[in-house]
């Protein structure tokens, strides 16, 4: 089933970036049967990954966290234009005599990788943010009165049972402490469960609770799902899966609008 965030196959949810990677690799593996094909693919992937993820590396973060930003492909952050340029350069300086085969493999792989963009719903799932008030749960366990989520925010819908959600929470905690306009919204769990989890993980994070009231209108079917809510109260961008820091910073800039751009 096609949903705003990707392709849902029973319990498995594949984001659009993951589908792009998967289809492109399958097409390349099927057609690129010539010397240097594997090296070109590797150079493409490494360049695309580094180009996208390196801007988010932070000397103030643990080394392991920075390393995970680079190698965790679930985060789906790829700069395909620089990656393809590096891969084509590798083919150009590689073994000769396979030009037609290489050109056909490149063309088919690029078209296969572009297919998710054609399947993606028009508007990328853009919709209005529901004006549903939610209570805020403080790390102390205090529940504050329900208020609507403000506009101009990055909203992360999560659950304690979700492994990818747990993986990105330390990043979200650090960026929130630095003043990033990020709102956590827990879905489907009692406040006591959420507080116990945060204390067990030594996370000092406020989070909204009761997010299950939002998910039908937002068409959220898997977690973590991160949404950009602009100043006008519109959901203008979505991301399925854990975030790296570079992705989060881009979403924050999108939520804050042109005034936040350098």
pLDDT in tens, 15-51: 999 999 999 999 999 999 999 999 999 999 999 999 9
Every domain of the chain with CATH number 3.40.30.10 lies at 125-260
Mean pLDDT along residues 181-199: 97
Element containing residue 147 per DSSP (H, E): strand 143-147
Burial class (CB in 10 A: 0-12, 13-18, 19+), 16: buried
Q: What is the CATH number of domain 125-260?
A: 3.40.30.10
pLDDT recorded at residue 198:
96
What backbone torsions phi and psi does residue 65 show, to the nearest 5 degrees?
-65, -45
Q: Nearest 5°: CA angle at 195, between 193 and 197?
A: 70
**How large a percentage of the chain has pLDDT more than 70?**
97
Angular region, 210: left φ>0, alpha ψ -120 to 50, beta rest: left
């Amino acid at each position: 089933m096609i949903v705003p965030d990707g392709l849902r196959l029973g319990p498995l949810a594949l984001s659009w970036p993951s589908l792009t990677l998967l289809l492109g690799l399958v097409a390349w593996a099927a057609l690129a049967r010539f010397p240097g094909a594997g090296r070109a693919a590797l150079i493409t992937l490494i360049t695309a990954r580094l180009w996208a993820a390196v801007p988010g590396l932070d000397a103030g973060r643990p080394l392991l966290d920075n390393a995970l930003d680079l190698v965790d492909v679930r985060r789906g952050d790829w700069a395909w234009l620089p990656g393809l340029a590096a891969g084509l350069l590798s083919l150009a300086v590689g073994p000769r005599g396979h030009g037609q085969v290489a050109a056909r493999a490149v063309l088919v792989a690029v078209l296969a990788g572009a297919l998710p963009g054609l399947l993606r719903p028009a508007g990328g799932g853009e919709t209005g943010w529901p004006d549903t008030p939610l209570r805020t749960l403080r790390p102390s366990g205090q529940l504050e009165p329900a208020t609507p989520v403000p506009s101009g925010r990055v909203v992360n819908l999560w659950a304690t049972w979700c492994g990818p959600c747990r993986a990105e929470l330390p990043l979200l905690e650090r960026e929130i402490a630095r003043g990033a306009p990020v709102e956590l919204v827990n879905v489907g769990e009692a406040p006591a469960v959420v507080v116990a989890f945060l204390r067990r993980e030594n996370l000092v994070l406020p989070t909204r609770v009761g997010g299950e009231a939002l998910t039908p209108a937002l068409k959220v079917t898997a977690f973590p799902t991160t949404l950009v809510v602009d100043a006008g109260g519109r959901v203008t961008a979505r991301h399925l899966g854990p975030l790296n820091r570079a992705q989060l910073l881009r979403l924050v800039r999108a939520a804050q609008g042109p005034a936040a751009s350098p």
